Amino acid sequence: MHKEVFRREERVLTLAREALADDSWQRDAAAFSALVAEYEKLCRQSRRLVTMGDRMQQTLGNLNRDLAESERKYRSIFENVTEGIYRCDSAGRLVEVNPAMAAMFGCASPEAFVAEVGLLHRLFCDPDDYRIYEALLASGDARRYEARVRAPGSESLWVEISASAVEADGVGLQGVVGVLVDVTERKDMIEEMCRLARTDSLTGMWNRGYFMELAGRELNRARRKGGDLALLMIDVDHFKAINDTHGHDVGDMALVELARIFGESVREVDVAARLGGEEFGVLLPDASAEDACAVAARIARAVRSAAIESVAGTLRMTVSIGLASLEQPQDSIDSLLKYSDIALYAAKKNGRDRVEVYRRSVCPRRSADNGPGCPDGSGG
């Protein structure tokens, strides 16, 4: 480029050199030579400046191309990723969201989503979750923060948020850029796995492991507050004969029916579980031995009244129940299970379809609802 710019100057320099070769210019040769030398110097400096300009122009062109390529890549990611991406200004107003985030909340377009929601905090179902989000941003970045969110007119979602503040030198906070990942399915799966780990697959009742965990909590609470606590151990009478006569499928139906009866016979705060096979446990917080006897009688009566139809005929059941109460500070869940199991064995031994109470004193009451009758003394 510089050759084209300085073509005229080169021609002038050529004429000047030719004039210097003419003898008629001898008297002014020194001054003319100095002029030519300065002009040559000026041309060299000008060439260097033009060369620098060419290089700067080329560098600027490369930067523009790189910037355009980066913008294209950013737009491609922004438009096509499955995760939701959003930008907010310093006041928390949504500036831009990608199509994935709009679709996540059931909106037709990103523009419609921004217009409908407006402020980011409106997405959070719980205001406390948004305050925690802001605190995380203030302390650095929010990384993999889980919260429940919902846009107007959409169902709630569990999302994992990763966001960071955008700042400019001398200006401060410019806004926030964040990514939302829908983890609802994963959250539901984890909750379902927890539920399956805690419940009996056939009856839907708590299993033995979770029963022990809940029972331990209730025992500690009863010790702290000095409250009552009772435990019922329940076993189906002649359950093997039920399976042999009616079949195992009917036996399973019987266990499910028992789970229903237990659910209707106890309070919401009580803990009922299938401990294994045809054996069940019911923990009764804040229940005295007399209260527990009433619950046991109600359960026995409900089971006695239940009927299950099968091809082998009508199935009727009875249960034997052993009852133990928290009486001494050193009593543990294991000891209460042991005592109620001893009482249950006594109920089986004394004719079944009855309630036996393990106590270090006398039975708190008699009741005809207990079948043949509440025992006079300790079951153990």
Catalytic residue at 356? no
The separation between CA 375 and the C-alpha centre of its own chain, rounded to angstroms, equals 51
- Set 4, 218, 278, 327: catalytic member: 278
- Measured from the Cβ of residue 328, the count of other Cβ atoms closer than 10 Å reads 7
- From residue 159, give the alpha-carbon distance in Å to each of 83, 143, 144, 186, 241: 10, 12, 9, 10, 52
Alpha-carbon distance of 354 to 372, in angstroms, equals 6
- Please state the φ and ψ torsions of residue 174, each to the nearest 5 degrees: -100, -25
Q: Does residue 322 contact residue 346 with C-beta atoms inside 8 Å?
A: yes
- What is the SS3 assignment for 43? helix
From residue 192, alpha-carbon distances to 6, 144, 157, 185, 210 in Å are: 81, 21, 16, 10, 15
Other residues' Cβ atoms within 10 Å of the Cβ of residue 199: 16
CA pair distance 164, 78, nearest whole angstrom: 16
Pair 252, 314: CB distance under 8 Å? no
Task: DSSP letter for 374, please.
Answer: -
Q: Which residues are catalytic?
A: 278
